[in-house]
Every structure is written in structure tokens, then in C-alpha cells.
Amino acid sequence: MLAWGFAKVSAYRLDIELTSADADLPLSSYINQAAKFTVTPVSSDVLGLIEGMIAPQALKEWSGIITSCEKLSVSADETRYRMVLEPRIAALKHHRTSRLFQNQNIPDIISSLLKHHGFAGVDF
């Protein structure tokens, strides 16, 4: 957990393993795409879920971008994949530039850099 002023930023990285009947997913097309991972509890009222009467509440949700995809293994009926979900700001680790900031405080500099890379005020 990083603390800065009164705001706290929590970084996360989710390594998600999944299976698919498709052995040839276009993995490179998923990189930098927006994604959401939701953990939802299993309901004991299966009949209610089937009839659509009860919508389970999400326990936790993570939103971000896919930063990595790989094929792990292939069997006769399924293929295992791993995808990594990170916050959008993780994409900035691939950018290196030099700039000079004068007469600005740290929050203004960070705001300027984030806006330069396409983040809106609601993102931070």
C-alpha cells in the first residue's frame, strides 16, 4: 500500500488462469484491453438463480487492463491460459521520457503526467 497525502493507492496484480475449448485464442489482441474480474459467491438457492429471481452480490471486483497473456497447456478438450490483470496505470511502466517541471508542486506534476498519458480527472 502506497500512501500519498490523504489519498491511498492500492496496487494489485491478478494472475488469472482460465480454460477454453478454443486452443488458438488471439492472445496478442487482448493486451492493453480493458477487463473486469468479479468474485461472486455461490448461492445455496440454485433454483432461484436458475429462474433469475436472485442476483448474487459481487464480493470483490477488479478493473484494469490485460498486461500479459500466455498459453499454459493443451489437452484433448481444453486449453489452459494465464492472463494478468493490472490497473490502467501499469501501462505507464513501458514509457520513459524526460521532462523538466518548474514552479509546480508534486500533485500538479503527477496530474500533468497522468493527463498527458490519457487519464482523466476521474481516474485519479
> What pTM, to 2 d.p., does this model score?
0.69
CATH number of 14-86: 2.30.110.50
Using the predicted structure, report yes or no on whether residue 5 has a pLDDT greater than 70: no
Distance CA 27, CA 83 (A): 9
Residue 69 near residue 27 (C-beta atoms within 8 A): yes
**β-strand 14-20 against 60-74: which pairing, if any?**
unpaired
* Domain boundaries along the sequence of the chain: 14-86, 94-124
Q: CB–CB of 10/63 below 8 Å?
A: no
DSSP tag of 87: -
C-beta atoms surrounding 111 within 10 Å: 15
Position 58 pLDDT exceeds 80? no
**Given this model, what pLDDT does residue 36 score?**
94
| Cell numbers describing residue 120 | 482523466
Across 25-52, average pLDDT: 79
More confident call, 36 vs 39: 36
